[in-house]
Amino acid sequence: MAPSRRRHSRLSSTAPSISFWQGRRARPSRGRLASIALAAATIVGGAVVAAYALTPFPAQQAHASGEASPAPAPVMAPLKPAPAELQAKLASLAAEFGEPVGIAVSHVGEGWGATVAGDMSFPQQSVSKLWVALATLDAIDRGQISLQTPLMMSPADRSVFNQPLAHNIGETGYWTNVSALIRHAIVNSDNSANDRLIRQIGIERVNKVLDAKGIEGIQLGADERHLQALIAGFQWRPEYGEPALFEQARGRIPREMREAAAQRYIADPADGATPVAIVQALAALKRGELLSPTSTAYLLDTLTDVRTGPRRLKGGLPPGWTAAHKTGTGQDFAGSSIGINDVGLLTAPDGETYAVAVLIPRTRRPNPERLALMQAVSAAVVETWRMETGA
């Protein structure tokens, strides 16, 4: 017999007023993404990188399931009021952290949500790899490509920072396939794998897929290598695929110019997303509203296998809970870290699932305090489940 649900009071999911937010940050339209993403590339001279063209897919056999993508669903329907205790707890955690943070928690089945700065746009960093994978799987569902489609990674496909797959690239390149690229991009947060997928499908396609599926408040304006150069205040060049050369180029940027570039990015991130949009998209994914059943299961399984951030949201879960999540970790600069994030689906032992997003745009807090915040959000979700189910 299913446990009875505890009755409780509800509060609106509207973000509470917090002193460190000075008004609502405007979000750009997708049509302006290319210019926004690359505008800072001219800080240290050089030509602006061209906007990405939509790369046509080669003719490929349809996904083995033969399933078509479902019709666009009302992904962005307003969240219902959340349990009052959870809303108050999230607001308290954000206030105690003392720096800007966006938080959203939504019950996948019931559609309620609790948020802090939920409609503000935050840097995603590698969280955006989730939407690249989503767009790629949508193309698979449409028969435009397959998981087994072979793709070549050439020396020009080297990216920045974490890119273990790029170590396989020799003078003649490295052959892999779409499935391996998705898994490396999600499980290991490999930037070279993600950027190769983007080269295959195009930035424009990712944003069009988000639009077609009714997902508002999430955008992608550049691949990882162009984005990371932009954040540091200079223009990407292919030779920067060699890590030492990227670090040398970044080291030549004057401190004040790096700071100005970082501030512009945080104020208007080319990869911006709102916490509410992220949890609504995750909930829709879990409900099977975004992809075919086969592709939905594939993406959820891949997110469950993620190796990064084991002490972020996952660190606050007791035994019996599972997490399908994606982390984001930006650059360290001037004693701060830019874009420290974790988003995902937290599932209780009884199958109840909660979509969660914690986004920290810039922090000077030591790593244990960042982890403690994310773990406390997960613990608050667990406590809400216990109160709701009587477990």
pLDDT recorded at residue 77: 83
Tokens of 14: 């509207």
pLDDT recorded at residue 117: 98
Please count the residues of the chain: 391
d(CA 6, CA 388): 5
d(CA 265, CA 381): 31
Tell me phi and psi for residue 344, to 5 degrees: 175, -175
Tokens of 384: 């809400």
**What CATH number does the domain located at 10-17+26-389 have?**
3.40.710.10
Query: For residues 210, 211, 215 and 218, what is the CA-based torsion angle, rounded to 10 degrees?
Result: 60
pLDDT recorded at residue 321: 98
pLDDT recorded at residue 68: 54
pTM above 0.75, yes or no: yes
Q: Which of 30, 328, 285, 345 is closest to 134 using CA atoms? A: 285
pLDDT recorded at residue 67: 55
The answer to whether 391 and 5 are in contact (CB under 8 A) is: no
d(CA 232, CA 123): 14
Sequence-distant (6+) residues with CB within 8 A of 299 are 133, 134, 137, 186, 285, 291
Using alpha carbons only, give the angle 192, 132, 76 rounded to the nearest 5 degrees: 155
Single-letter amino acid code for the residue at 23: G
d(CA 328, CA 87): 24
CA atoms within 13 A on the CB side of 262: 22
Q: What are the average pLDDT values for consecutive 10-residue runs of the chain, which has 391 residues? A: 37 35 42 40 31 36 47 70 98 98 98 98 98 98 98 97 96 96 98 98 97 96 98 96 94 98 98 98 97 98 98 98 98 98 98 98 98 98 97 88
Spans of all domains in the chain: 10-17+26-389
